[in-house]
């Protein structure tokens, strides 16, 4: 499967909002509401921040939100904070018990 498409980087000042897009196809994002997002700090394992397109695990701040339209999912971080600076990956169920990930987006807090 081809990787989902994410922007290489996005940036924002503290307190601003940033949105990361994740574009797939009708066979993955467009077919299932099993889209999740992961935050990964350098040298660490990924940590889920959004699952089921828009649900937040307990402990994840409500400034993280997710959405989906057609074949594109999005992660929005509102009220950007210094600790949000990290790499973010989207993931979608691609059918056949397989996953497909995005290439990753580096979020920089200016």
Partner 1 sequence: EVQLVESGGGVVQPGGSLRLSCAASGFTFNTYWMHWVRQAPGKGLVWVSRMNSDGTNTTYADSVKGRFTISRDNAKNTLYLQMTSLRAEDTAVYYCVRDVKYQPESWGQGTLVIVSS
The H helix count followed by the E strand count for the chain is 0, 9
Q: Which two tokens stand for residue 107?
A: 């979020």
Distance CA 4, CA 19 (A): 16
* Site map (CB under 8 A) of partner 1, residues 33-72, x = contact: -xxx-x-----xxxxx--xx--------------------
* Contact present, 10 and 88 (Cβ < 8 Å): no
Distances, alpha carbon 15 to alpha carbons 52, 60, 103, 110, in Å: 26, 17, 26, 10
**Cβ-based nearer residue to partner 1, 31 or 72:** 31
Q: What angle do CA 59, 103, 19 make, to 5 degrees?
A: 55
Residue from 24, 64, 84, 89 binding partner 1 (CB under 8 A): 89
Q: Smallest distance, Å, CB 31 to partner 1?
A: 11
Contact window for partner 1 (CB under 8 A) among 16-24, 62-70, 72-80, 86-94: 86-94
Using CB under 8 A as the binding rule, whether residue 97 contacts partner 1 is answered as yes
**Cβ-based nearer residue to partner 1, 13 or 42:** 42
Binding site for partner 1 (CB under 8 A): 3, 32, 34-36, 38, 44-48, 51-52, 89, 91, 93, 96-104
């Amino acid at each position: 499967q081809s990787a989902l498409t994410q922007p290489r980087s996005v940036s924002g000042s503290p307190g601003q909002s940033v949105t990361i897009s994740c574009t797939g196809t009708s066979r993955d994002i467009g077919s299932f509401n099993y889209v999740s997002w992961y935050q990964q700090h350098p040298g660490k394992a990924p940590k889920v921040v959004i699952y089921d397109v828009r649900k937040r695990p307990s402990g994840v701040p409500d400034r993280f939100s997710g959405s989906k339209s057609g074949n594109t999912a999005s992660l929005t971080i509102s009220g950007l904070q210094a600790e949000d600076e990290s790499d973010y990956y989207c993931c979608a169920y691609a059918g056949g018990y397989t996953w497909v990930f995005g290439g990753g987006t580096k979020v920089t807090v200016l």
